[in-house]
């Protein structure tokens, strides 16, 4: 009769062990979602840097051929600097909107100069930009998908109880307000 207390204590210990196992499994899953979002954001940063690295060559080509359009060159350089200094998805989204507008303006200037648009070097640069834009769109979709999964996992009960102590928070999407600007990357015409 003195062992009757062992049953409630055993049940309490089993419940505590199960809660601890659940906590660590849930924390591990949330951190996995967080790591996937980090990796996807890193890919976006790489593509934004790659595109920003192409801009000086494009602007140099336009500057060499175009007598007018200095404002477009200034705008693309300003947008490039803003893109490189963006440190969050919200800042990158704003920079992306400015960059797309500046890029359209730059190519508008370039289209006025047939020698430039027929130049093999300029065509190669435009082709590189198109490839980078395609990769950037893919990276954006991957990142937003990872963030969607992360945010759903963080807000779902009972994961909400684990997310705070695990240091996992919801993230912002990488949105572009001018969807028409990114729906069709700059065209390369041969």
The CA-atom distances, in angstroms, between 166 and each of 5, 25, 32, 34, 171 are 35, 11, 11, 11, 15
CB environment 83-106: b (16+ within 10 A), e (fewer): beebeebeebbbbbbbbbebbebb
The confidence score (pLDDT) of residue 117 equals 80
CA dihedral 155, 157, 160, 166 (to 10 degrees): -110
The confidence score (pLDDT) of residue 113 equals 81
Residue-wise pLDDT for 4-22, tens only, equals 888 889 999 999 999 999 9
The confidence score (pLDDT) of residue 183 equals 46
For residues 74 and 30, is the Cβ–Cβ distance under 8 A? no
In the predicted model, residues of the chain with pLDDT beneath 70 are 1, 67-68, 178-190
Domain boundaries, the chain: 6-183
Dist. CA 189–CA 94, nearest whole Å: 29
Dist. CA 68–CA 54, nearest whole Å: 21
Residue-wise pLDDT for 142-157, tens only, equals 999 999 999 999 999 8
Total-model pTM: 0.78
The confidence score (pLDDT) of residue 175 equals 85
Dist. CA 31–CA 29, nearest whole Å: 5
The confidence score (pLDDT) of residue 26 equals 93
The confidence score (pLDDT) of residue 141 equals 94
The confidence score (pLDDT) of residue 185 equals 44
Q: Which CATH architecture has domain 6-183?
A: Up-down Bundle (1.20)
């Amino acid at each position: 009769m003195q062992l009757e207390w062992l049953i409630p204590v055993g049940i309490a210990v089993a419940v505590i062990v199960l809660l601890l196992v659940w906590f660590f499994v849930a924390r591990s899953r949330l951190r996995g979602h967080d790591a996937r979002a980090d990796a996807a954001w890193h890919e976006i940063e790489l593509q934004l840097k790659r595109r920003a690295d192409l801009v000086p060559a494009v602007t140099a080509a336009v500057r060499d051929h175009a007598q007018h359009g200095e404002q477009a060159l200034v705008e693309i350089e300003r947008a490039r600097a803003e893109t490189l200094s963006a440190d969050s998805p919200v800042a990158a989204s704003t920079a992306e909107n400015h960059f797309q507008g500046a890029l359209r303006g730059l190519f508008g200037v370039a289209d006025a100069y047939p020698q430039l648009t027929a130049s093999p070097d300029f065509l190669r640069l435009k082709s590189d930009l198109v490839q980078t834009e395609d990769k950037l769109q893919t990276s954006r979709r991957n990142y937003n998908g990872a963030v969607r999964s992360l945010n759903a996992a963080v807000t779902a009960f009972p994961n909400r109880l684990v997310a705070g102590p695990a240091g996992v928070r919801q993230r912002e999407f990488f949105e572009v307000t001018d969807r028409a600007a990114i729906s069709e990357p700059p065209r390369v015409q041969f």
